Chain A
Amino acid sequence: MPTLSRRDLFRGTAAVGASALLKPGVARATAPSAANLVTQVNGERVDTPIGDHETALELVRERLGLTGSKEACGHGACGACTMLVDGVPQVSCIQPASHLHGKQVVTIEGLHHATDPRPAGGPGHPPHGIAPPPSPSLEALHPLQRAFLAEDALQCGYCTPGFVVEASAFHDAWRGAHPVGEGPTRAEVAAALSGHLCRCGAYEGIFRAVQGSCKGDFDAVIPGEPPRIDGLEKVTGHARYTVDVSLPGMKEAVFVRSPCGGAKVAQIDDSAARKVPGVHGILHLADSGATLRHAGQPIAIVVADDRTTARTAARLVRVSVNRGPVACDIASALAPGAPLVYPNRGKTEISSEMTVIPTAWNLNERGPLRTDIGLAPGRAQRAVEAPSVDGVWTTQAQCHTALEPHACVAQWEGESVTVWASTQMVVGLAEELADRLRLPASQVRVLAPYVGGAFGAKAAWDAHVGFVVDAARQLDVPLRYVPDRHEELLLGGYRPPQELKVAVAVNAAGELDGVRMEVRGDSGVAVGANVGGIMRLRYPGAPKFLSDYDVLTHAPAARPFRGPGGPPGYFALEGAIDQIAADRGVSPISIRRPWDREPAFRRLYDWAEGLPEAGRYAEVGRDTGRFRDGVGVATAAWYHFVAPGIEVLLKADSSGFHVSTASQDMGNGTRTTLAQAVEDALGVPRARVSVRVGDSRDVPGPMSAGSRTTVSVRPAVFDAARELTAAMLDFAVSTWGLTEAVVAPGGVQHATGFATWASIVDAGGSFSAVGRRRVDPAGWAIPLAIGGSAIGKHSSAALQVSLVRVDTWLGRVQVLKVWAGFAVGRVHSPVIARSQAIGGVIQSLGYALHEERRLDAKTGALLTHTLEDYHLPGMAESPEIDVHFDDVPIPGVAAEGIGLSEVTTCGGGASIANAIFRATGWRPMALPARPDRVLAGLKTRVTV
């Protein structure tokens, strides 16, 4: 087997000999144990040898090709792999396959009605790459599945099969014991589904779906289209994600990774690993002497028949390293004598969506980066010499940890490669790959069929994709790599920890005289943490001094996380303002009102003052006793980002209407947005529109990041529709000799009647048009696009009111209710927009209260390496969330609206922290507000 160094990668110089070692025909299963497993899966008999440590999940996914059950955590903590065993929901990732012996197993594929004429995807359907089995009809679905569809109880859909399987059993048991019309409480549903996690935060819809179906509301098919056009594939387990791609002869990759940071490779000995049967190759990715800045850096890639074998072999690769000291947080990295992350400066990784501007670099600190040009920073500095409030806020690393990891599959055919990847940027990834491989663009194709969540973590180049693509070529095999949860939590991206020194001055007249924010961000080995660039948006007109520093540490690179810079920045800024309002005894709404001249914020303030808890906004510490309630208010603003020039292809022929673009749907609803846009532009029902995304070969679409997908593709669809309808009009006129013919909604109005688009395509016409996202009528705020992103005029606005209950004995904070108002102009798909908004609110709740990555300070290794240690909000953490859209068109902006995703998560942490202060009189200055911090805080009651 060849031993390759990193230098050889992408050069193709060391591939000789690899293919000779392949063993064609070797089964992908592990060695059989003495006795075969005999079981029933979805009603069909299975009789198969199984491996010693094979899990029930591996059995159904890899042997039976039933890929609806998902692995997400691998520890039984998230429930994505739940299946029914003798009717009882059980997690399958920690269930020995042998325990299914003699049992009746039902997976998501077998849940719908057995009489459905179409195949249930039972055993015998071989694993395959792209084409999913057909989904069952709505009539054949379990009522709970129909409820999930109707209530839009999902986004990316990756956790959905597990939720659906568990909730269907709950539903069936409930129905057996309760009359029609009687449903469970939220608490009962939360307890029943406490073994499930949804990173998108679809919990509100799940509550409605389970409660409604238990009452019998979904026993029959609900008329009308489900709000999300790819929902059916998701609730049936038929949606195929990158992790589900399985190709003939495909091998699995596992990485050998650095155990620590601050080290150098001394020696790599893979001799024992190479002897493991089923290992096809081990490629070295780091040479002796290579620098290992952070834990998890790739050292070697092991390719084997299956993951278990690869993992076993990887464990046998002996890597000795020379360890040095590490600095894994801001304080350690800035301490005198701290080990330097980049002793020779050099090139860092970039964690920002924005272009990183050169600046000073001193030891581990890079900066300042000033983002206050034109904001009178000098005046702000002078004003805060007598601050109304002055404090240091700190935040933690929040991991994106999408439930589908950063998986990829590479398949070479000659000098062309196809890469399936869980990515937010099929186009960007294809371009990057072509560049690195020095191949023409036509020879690189990237597919992202379904994407199981991303949140910003999958919008950048991933080194492992390059290694997998290269290993696939070197070893001449299709190759899949699915990171485990440990790798995902360590390397998959995180919101950088920040230390924010904030001073705010409000004068006696209530005017905002100045804001000073000096912020340090820890993006690990990367740079690009930036809060000031976001903070300059809020309270326009107020003098601001905004200065950011990157602090380099021996941690993996951060990644932009939904609203990068927003959540920490608003936590500090809105906390400071809340404190000033409290100190002055005024409502947090009334103190802000004079600082906002935009009508959108004024309307949000009016809305907030009409809410049920409005009378309590100014209260602090009303309750005594164990449980204390408080209401917190915070606001946020976000940019109007657009991907200018992106294209959408619209076709119409006798088979229907087809829209495609090389974008992707990671749960944000790109497919639905496109179909809705076609419906709105052409006046044809959404059901007649087929949508294709997730293929880099289509016309170039937007990266799904920066809240810009909808605002980019929708105007492009309208642009295409103008050309398409003109052509259809011409065709109709010439075919039928129409007179006085004009384009109208749904077809062509002419002198003697109306010809529908459908009748025109049925007459044999075949049309296509490419539409583009053009500049907004009002133009851009900055006259050029940076990194494929233009900044439009106007910004989005958010206001979140949170009612919390603090348990002063156990230090626990429960969010009871949230009212979240968003002004983003026109909302074109209200149901999925609401789902996305709720997801943003729940992610901010996790940020405020539960989520926290922790690294070992001595080695930089990840301590919170499972979803048992890294705490995502669950069903019971999800409060009732009322979403209010200020649905007022924004003039001068195409589609009359601006992006939604990021602004929904920016102010929530601040709102909850402010509510804790209002409840207790103690202001959380550090996130998350863990029980130990709450208890300590309650003892001090120190406010800033």
Chain B
Amino acid sequence: MIHFPLSPSDAVTLHAQGRATLRAGGTDVVDRARNGLLVGDVIDLRDVQPDAMFGGVSSTAGLGVPPSLSIGALTRIAALDVPALDAWPGLREAARTLATPQVRAMATVGGGLLQANRCWYFRHPDLRADCHKAGGATCAARSGDALRHALFDVGPCISVHPSTLGCALLAYDATFTVLEAAGLRDAGTVEALFGSGADPTRDNQLPDGAVLYAVHVDTGAGDRSAYGRATGRTWAEWPLVEATVRVGPAGVVIAAGGVAPVPVRLRVAEQALGSGASAGEAIHRECASRQLLAQSAYKVDLLAGLVQALLDRADRRSL
């Protein structure tokens, strides 16, 4: 059954009632429905009239206050490729790079952050029976073909998180707001929204019954930053690894995707760069501090190359 609530509060009331999936752009939910992965009702946000916080992009850049950015969960990805985001180039670049133009025109920020992973076992009707994320208790990829899977062994599931925006927001220490039955609540960092990746049953840690309302970026405006990804083709490919680097007064921040079941901050590498290490050394130190998965060990070099390339690019950027 599909519900079409007319307001955010109607949506959250329905959502709090039980097992239903929220649908905004639908690009992932429709696919999952066809694939047999969707259980229960759908709450479609088509008719919701969002307020500015839920459905808009607002930036205080240039207004004489510390620049900050708020992005509503119902904002289409394509709406992020606008000059208002120029103070956060890594974020704008990420929004311009992910998926395809047609998908970016439909998909929302909320959906982008909360989409399900694309593991080829999880998405396979005949291979996911026992998959953690489909209610099972094993990871077929772990003992199977994990060529494009996680590098960091942080939990039983070794899928990689598909959210490019998540990777970019992590690099800006973004926070998020949820709407719950009790009302709006600032719910912490986007890093916490994803968690450590140790929980194999979920792609994110959004509180049950909550609707992701908006994400906020209060830091990093004007920092040199860059987003990039390593793929076989130029466009329209899930990245083997992706990263956002931000070089600010407090040092370098690196967030990476394609390496774990959630986007991750590479804090060991950040520290190493702060103490003068090269990108390659920094990434190798990061990787030495983590348990790695053998099949995707090539991603160490890929990540090192990518971070070096992004630091170079950020460096060339004058802001």
Contact = CB atoms under 8 A, between A and B. Distances in A.
A863 B121 contact: yes
B305 A809 contact: yes
A35 B4 contact: yes
B27 A195 contact: no
Contacts of A192: 101
Given A91-B106, A811-B230, A99 B302 contact: no
A95 B28 CA distance: 9
Interface string B33-57: 1101000001010100000000000
B233 interface: yes
Contacts, number: 178
Given A812-B231, A850-B232, A932-B298, A91 B34 contact: no
A865 B34 CA distance: 14
Interface stretch (A392-400, A463-471, A851-859): A851-859
Interface of B: 1-2, 4, 23, 26-28, 30-31, 33-34, 36, 42, 44, 46, 78, 99-103, 105-106, 118, 120-121, 123-127, 140, 143-145, 147, 230-238, 240, 298, 301-302, 304-306, 308-309
Contacts of B298: 811, 931-932, 935-936
28 contacts: A76-B99, A79-B102, A91-B100, A94-B27, A94-B28, A94-B31, A96-B26, A96-B46, A191-B101, A191-B235, A192-B101, A194-B236, A810-B306, A811-B302, A812-B230, A856-B121, A857-B144, A858-B143, A859-B126, A861-B124, A861-B127, A869-B118, A869-B120, A871-B237, A874-B235, A931-B298, A932-B298, A935-B302
Contacts of A515: none
Given A53-B33, A94-B30, A876-B235, A89 B145 contact: no
A76 B234 CA distance: 17
Given A91-B102, A315-B125, 6 more contacts: A94-B106, A99-B46, A194-B234, A810-B302, A811-B230, A811-B305
B173 to A, nearest CB: 27
B234 A877 contact: yes
Given A98-B46, A861-B124, A930-B232, A195 B302 contact: no
A776 to B, nearest CB: 43
Interface size class of A (residues with CB under 8 A): 35 or more
A911 interface: no
Given A94-B27, A95-B30, A861-B124, A871 B2 contact: no
Contacts of A854: 120, 145, 147
Contact of B30 (A55, A814, A873): A55
A489 B120 CA distance: 14
Contacts of A194: 100-101, 234-236
B100 A195 contact: yes
Interface in A626-651: 626
Nearest to A33: B2
Nearest to B104: A195
B233 A850 contact: yes
Contacts of B301: 811, 935, 939
A180 B103 CA distance: 30
A626 B280 CA distance: 14
Most buried by B among A856, A859, A866: A856
What is the predominant secondary structure among interface residues of chain A facing chain B? loop
B129 to A, nearest CB: 9
A311 B118 CA distance: 21
B235 A95 contact: no
Contact of A76 (B103, B230, B302): B103
A192 B102 CA distance: 9
Interface in A831-852: 849-850
Contacts of B120: 854, 863-865, 869
Interface in A90-147: 90-91, 94-96, 98-99, 101
Contact of B26 (A94, A311, A875): A94
B34 A311 contact: yes
A77 interface: yes
A192 B100 CA distance: 9
Q: Would you list the 8 A-B pairs with minimal beta carbon distance, nearest first?
A: A195-B100, A809-B305, A194-B235, A259-B126, A876-B234, A932-B298, A863-B120, A91-B102
Contacts of B23: 96
Given A195-B102, A854-B147, A856-B127, A77 B26 contact: no
Contacts of A190: 234-235
B236 A195 contact: yes
A866 B27 CA distance: 15
A878 to B, nearest CB: 10
A810 B309 contact: yes
A82 interface: yes
Contacts of A814: 234
A870 to B, nearest CB: 10
B245 to A, nearest CB: 14
Interface in A892-944: 928, 930-932, 935-936, 939
B108 to A, nearest CB: 12
A509 to B, nearest CB: 42
Given A53-B34, A95-B30, A931-B302, A866 B101 contact: no
A380 interface: no
B4 A810 contact: no
A868 B238 contact: yes
Most buried by B among A166, A809, A935: A809
Given A90-B105, A810-B309, A856-B140, A101 B46 contact: yes
A809 B301 CA distance: 8
B26 A99 contact: yes
Contacts of B234: 190, 194, 814, 874, 876-877
Most buried by A among B31, B36, B102, B238: B102
Nearest to A846: B233
Interface string A257-297: 00110000000000000000000000000000000000100
Most buried by A among B4, B105, B232: B232
B124 A76 contact: no
A200 B27 CA distance: 26
Most buried by B among A52, A74, A195, A259: A195
A850 B233 CA distance: 7
A75 interface: yes
A39 to B, nearest CB: 12
Contacts of A810: 230, 302, 305-306, 309
A368 B3 CA distance: 63
A33 B23 CA distance: 16
A88 interface: yes
B153 to A, nearest CB: 18
